[in-house]
Structure 1
């Protein structure tokens, strides 16, 4: 049984956020499901990601490092996939927080990129293969 069923994220402008999230989530193999006041992406037995519009206008963007959301990391199968998803996010209007690079402070195999959308939502594309035996 999965522990996490879904992740809900509040955004400033839902149509704009859909334009930023949809290319990334589609590239990750998720299917978009539109609802009356939200949109979600689903894939097999993965937790569902749901975007909701902010209840109050002008309450964003989220500021990284404040109480609340930190970031969501997507595990990639290769460094090339990190680079590919980073490029897709850039084309969809995300901002690069950190371009793809190695992070030896995590492990000697860790390669990642961090991007942020217009609502201040930060995601990471990362590849951290197991150590060779």
Structure 2
């Protein structure tokens, strides 16, 4: 059972946000569902991600580091997946915050990239494989 059932994120312009989020979620293997005024993506039995119109139009963008949303990290299977998803996001209009690279401050295996959409919503693509066992 997933820890989170769903995550709702408010945006200033749902159609513009769809144009940025849909290629990323499609590349991650999610299925899109359109609703009246909102949209969601999910995988079978997994957490759902929902975009909703802001209750206060024009109140964005979100500012990274302020109270509220920080970022959402997507764990992927390889460094190549980090690179591929980063390219998908950039092609969809996301702004690069940090290009794909190793983050030794986390550990010597942690490879990630960070991108931000027009609403200031930041996501991370990360690969952090388990440490290899030294047992024989």
Give ranges in structure 2 of 5+ residues lacking alignment: none
Query: Displacement, 1:57?
Result: 1.7
Residues 69-99 of structure 1, C-alpha deviations (whole Å, 9 max, x = no match): 0000000100000000000000000000000
2:80 alignment counterpart:
80
Cα shift readout 1:37-94 (whole Å, capped 9, x = no counterpart): 2100010121000000111221000000000000000001000000000000000000
TM-score normalised by length of structure 2: 0.96
1:103-114 to 2 correspondences below 5 Å: 103-114=103-114
- Greater Rg, structure 1 or structure 2? 2
* Counterpart residue number, 1:115: 115
* 1:37 matched to 2:37: yes
In 1, the alpha carbon distance for the partners of 2:106 and 2:90 equals 24
Aligned residues: 133
Taking the aligned partners of 2:108 and 2:12, their CA distance within structure 1 comes to 37
The DSSP-based 3-state class of the residue aligned with 2:2 is coil
Equivalent position SS for 2:58: coil
Return the alpha-carbon distance in structure 2 between the equivalents of residues 80 and 47 of structure 1.
24
Displacement over 2 Å in runs of 4+: none
Backbone CA RMSD of aligned residues: 0.7
**Alpha-carbon distance between aligned partners in 2 of 1:111 and 1:11, rounded to the nearest angstrom:** 28
